[in-house]
Amino acid sequence: MRVESVRGMRDILPEEAWVWQAVEEMLRQVFALYGYEEIRLPVVERAELFSRGVGETTEVVHKEMYVFPDRKGLELALRPEATASVVRAYLEHGLYAKGGVTKLYYLGPMFRYEKPQMGRQRQFHQYGVEALGSLDPALDAEVMALAWHLMEALELRGEHLLFRVNSIGCREDRPKYREALRSYFAPHAAGLCPDCQRRLEENPLRILDCKEPACRELAGAAPRATDHLCPGCKEHFGQVLSFLDALGLVYVEDPTLVRGLDYYTRTVFELASRELGAQDALLGGGRYDDLAELLGGAPTPGVGFAGGMERLILVLTGQGVGAQERPLLDVYVVPIGGEAKRPAVELLTRLRKAGLAADMDYVGRSLRKMMEIAGKRARYALILGPDELVRDQATVKNLATGESQTFSLAEVPERLRGLAERSC
């Protein structure tokens, strides 16, 4: 039997991969505008990193994480998200020693054992940023402005974007809020889904994440975190909103927004496309001022966000963005007859050294077939026939216009470069 890929682990084929490259390139450029540098993290971590950082009672850790022992019995996990890893690396390598705010971004695969569906795979890809080392509410707003900027740079029109924002307070506020939620939900316990009945005891905040319609309806009228904030958190949230106003970012306050991970404190947000409907966030994030301590490090405030590449690419393709032509080869070399093979091979090398993307046929296709391939894959065909060869020449055919020109073999790379640059 033929070996096939694992359910939920999808190949990204060349016809799609170039769109990913273009989007990744754009993301990197915008991250750099805000002073972020890339960090590349392992996909395998100790499972403990996530049970402590993300939280034992979260869906992600409780139900969706890939956990397995290595050959010596060490409990490992495929990372379900990257924030905990970024903070681990920050602490492990003493990145705080430089002082100020450390700004890091990442791109890469994450793993969650969920039911695979359109735009959501078990191996999925995230882009994200983390800014570590400051409590300043202006930084929360800057991170959100960066998220907005990304979507605009990707030509997702601004009028369709909307932030949902909330503050879930600090660890001093949390027990009071949990109690308020518990006493609100307790009389309705029978109407909650079985998972939420468990959550009611363990962590009633997680009921607010539940997607079951009955639970959602009850959550709609639940006590608001913003009514249980200490003066410091209230002040912080007010400032975040005033910076958002100053930056002209469109937002609504959403008291049911808590995000599915335990490490969040104070500001939480999601950026949604209004066209996709309220449930479909493009990215989400917030502050996590206690995460470093949860991982055994010194107190380090942080704020960031992560978004899904699959979802982003789905939206972009849906809007017709990124539908521009897949990049072509500059030139496809077409040798006619065995005599032409050797000069063709030499010419290919010279073309590539001159910075031109070039290829030729290696499976003995006919002239007609080679020209057909050239028409699909390249901007120019470079024909080396017996007539050309006796004169040390090659015919260059513009495959868009059908025009042909003849050049001497010696000057072909330079001439082609001139043509290629002019028609870019």
The residues of the shown chain that bind Zn ion, judged by CB under 5 A, are: 169-170, 173, 193, 196, 210, 212, 215, 230, 233
SS3 111: strand
**Minimal distance in Å, beta carbon 355 to Zn ion?**
57
> Measured at the alpha carbon of residue 215, what is the angle toward residues 214 and 217, in degrees to the nearest 5?
65
- Taking the complex as a whole, how short is the minimal distance between the CB of residue 357 and Zn ion, in angstroms? 53
Where does residue 357 rank: exposed (0-12), middle (13-18), buried (19+ CB within 10 A)? middle
| Residue with smaller CB distance to Zn ion, 170 or 420 | 170
* Least spacing, CB of residue 194 vs Zn ion, in Å: 8
- Comparing CB distances to Zn ion, the nearer of 28 and 234 is 234
How big is the CA angle at 229 (ends 228 and 233), to the nearest 5 degrees? 170
Residue 233 or 249 having the CB closest to Zn ion: 233
Q: Is the Cβ of residue 52 or residue 228 nearer to Zn ion in the bound state? A: 228
Cβ 30 vs Cβ 150: under 8 Å? yes
Minimum separation from the CB atom of position 266 to Zn ion (A): 7
Min dist. Cβ of residue 136 to Zn ion (A): 16
Q: Which CB atom, from 165 or from 215, has the smaller least distance to Zn ion?
A: 215
Q: String of b and e for 173-205 (b: at least 16 CB within 10 Å)?
A: bbebbeebbbebbeebeeebeebbeebbeebbb
- Smallest distance, Å, CB 236 to Zn ion? 8
Angle between helices 14-33 and 137-153 (to 10 degrees): 140
Nearer to Zn ion, 153 or 193 (CB): 193
Tell me whether residue 82 or residue 215 sits nearer to Zn ion (CB atom). 215
Q: Judging by DSSP bridges, how do beta strands 265-273 and 161-167 pair with one another?
A: antiparallel
What is the closest distance, in whole angstroms, from the C-beta atom of residue 206 to Zn ion in the complex? 9
Side chain identity, residue 392: D
Residue 9 or 230: the one with the smaller Cβ distance to Zn ion is: 230
Positive or negative CA dihedral for 156, 208, 264, 254? positive
How far is the C-alpha of 378 from the C-alpha of 359, rounded, in Å?
A: 9
Q: How far is the CB of 263 from Zn ion (least distance, A)?
A: 15
- How many angstroms separate the CA atoms of 409 and 345, rounded? 12
In the chain, % helix, strand, coil (3-state, to 5) comes to: 45, 20, 30
